[in-house]
Amino acid sequence: MQHDYYVFQLEKLRDSLNTLEQASQALEMAKRQRDKNAQRQAENQMKQAVGKAVKIEPHLAYLWYDALKSELANSIRGAWQKELTAYAVPLGFRLLPDISGICCLPSLSFVLHILFKLQRPYLSKDEHDFYLLENPVRKEKVFQTPMVASTGWKGALRAALWQLGYKEDHEVTIRLLGNPRASDEHQAGRLYFFPTFFDEIDLEVINPHDRKTGVGARGPILMECVPPETKGELVVLYVPFGLFEQSEDQRRADVAEDLQVLAKGIRAMLTTYGFGAKTSSGFGTVEEKLDGQGKLAIRAELPREYSSPVAPPEPKSAEFPRYLESPTRLHPDLRREDGSLKSEEEYRAFVESQGRKYSKKDKQLYEKANRWWEREGKDLWENAGQEPEPEEEPGSLPAPPVTEYTFGSLSELCEVARHVAERLQGGGEG
């Protein structure tokens, strides 16, 4: 079925590719005849044909000319690079849990929410039969948004724990992540990772060198990546299932140990060993300081006297895509007084009024805002205030105890984990 789709796409490309080849021949003729007017006209025709082909199917068009060893492949790739952009997954489809929902889970369950910022590019490997590059970054199948899958997080954490001395057969590793696939026990782990989505995409260039000669072995290699400074969210859920005959004290001791090891493993994974591809070269690491308040919510009633050694940063709109102020409201730079989206001309005038040039990044930001507006923002704006707030039913049962902690860095996360572990082993009601 996929190959049938590409055959159909190739038929749609026929006109554009024919126009491109004819314009290319006309350009060569104009160069030989030194006809400047004909040369400019042929270049414009090539530009239009390339742009049309890229909008239809850039990967197939590139591979077609690459198979023919034609220089036109470079024209397709150059136009595709200029249009390269990430499509954000709508907030409602990210399926991240509401931390307050921890009250519905068994006692001593906890949720860990970390807002991070990439320090080095994130690389991964996606599977495509037809793609312009040999190394596309992994993307969500529907929205084509760069992502770290749940299995990717699990594998990266397992590798980091192994580096810290917690091998695959260690009891804590088995409790957290389960047995390896080759094991006959098939025990599931207590951790569940939620996927992470990014709203930025770029290209990274690497040039492997021959160890003997010190010369590039095969020339520069283009790789899709998520660039540095991009923000992401890591959300981990822990549910302490285990043996029924286990005592409450032993269960608390296991959770306390698991939490501390998990915190150390996550910090090592994010800051030292990395996640994704080519981590041995330093890719896929994040900054020690978080981009916002991290949260740990545990289904237990614990003392709250823990005080952060460093004041946590104030929550800010950076937790949302840069074009949003909240999940339902545009950023002030992009919205009119009535809350609707500015036109691109209005946004351009605003940017220039700040003494800045309207750049490619500004245009990409506006395009993301416009897609969000057409997809869901306009309906939210039109329906704002129409639905009344639900009233709490009288006589409802009180919510089970949940204790929340915040932290501003990954090292502080380890301190919070140590504090919670001490309180768990010291007793208290869950």
Chain segment 280-329, per-residue pLDDT in tens:
888 999 999 999 899 999 998 887 655 444 444 444 444 578 888 887 88
Distance from C-alpha of 44 to C-alpha of 200, rounded to nearest angstrom: 30
Q: Is residue 392, in this structure, part of any structural domain at all?
A: no
65 and 176 share one domain: no
Q: What are phi and psi of 239, to 5 degrees?
A: -125, 120
Q: Is residue 166, in this structure, part of any structural domain at all?
A: yes
Q: Tell me if residue 70 falls in helix, strand or coil.
A: coil
CB 422 within 8 A of CB 313: no
9 and 156 share one domain: no
324 and 372 share one domain: yes
Q: Is residue 396, in this structure, part of any structural domain at all?
A: no
Chain segment 162-194, per-residue pLDDT in tens:
999 999 889 999 999 998 777 777 788 999 999
pLDDT band at 393 (very low <50, low <70, confident <90, very high): low
Residue 282's DSSP bridge partners are none
Distance from C-alpha of 155 to C-alpha of 164, rounded to nearest angstrom: 14
348 and 286 share one domain: no
CB 206 within 8 A of CB 220: yes
Identity at 48, one-letter amino acid code: Q
Q: Is residue 272, in this structure, part of any structural domain at all?
A: yes
N residues, the chain: 430
141 and 235 share one domain: yes
Whether pLDDT at 102 is above 90 = no
Q: Is residue 348, in this structure, part of any structural domain at all?
A: yes
Report the domain count for the chain: 3
Distance from C-alpha of 220 to C-alpha of 403, rounded to nearest angstrom: 51
Q: Is residue 337, in this structure, part of any structural domain at all?
A: yes
What is the distance, to the nearest Å, from the Cα of residue 61 to the centroid of all Cα atoms in its chain? 28
Q: Is residue 346, in this structure, part of any structural domain at all?
A: yes
Q: Which of 83, 113, 138 is the last residue of a domain?
A: 83
CB 416 within 8 A of CB 407: yes
How do the residues of the chain divide into helix, strand and coil, expressed in percent and rounded to 5? Answer: 45, 15, 40
Domain hosting residue 239, numbered range:
98-304+403-425
pLDDT band at 429 (very low <50, low <70, confident <90, very high): very low
58 and 114 share one domain: no
110 and 183 share one domain: yes
79 and 113 share one domain: no
295 and 420 share one domain: yes
146 and 252 share one domain: yes
Distance from C-alpha of 30 to C-alpha of 24, rounded to nearest angstrom: 10
Q: Tell me if residue 334 falls in helix, strand or coil.
A: coil
Whether pLDDT at 157 is above 90 = yes
321 and 300 share one domain: no
CA separation, residue 156 to residues 56, 166, 173, 193, 259 (Å): 36, 13, 13, 11, 17
369 and 266 share one domain: no
CB burial readout 292-303, b (16+ within 10 A) else e:
bbbbbbbbbebe
Distance from C-alpha of 430 to C-alpha of 107, rounded to nearest angstrom: 6
pLDDT band at 341 (very low <50, low <70, confident <90, very high): very high
DSSP secondary structure of 172-207:
HHHHHHB--TT-SS-PBPSEEEPPEE-S--EEEEE-
Task: Flag whether the pTM goes above 0.85.
Answer: no
Q: Is residue 296, in this structure, part of any structural domain at all?
A: yes
What is the distance, to the nearest Å, from the Cα of residue 322 to the centroid of all Cα atoms in its chain? 14
Distance from C-alpha of 20 to C-alpha of 14, rounded to nearest angstrom: 10
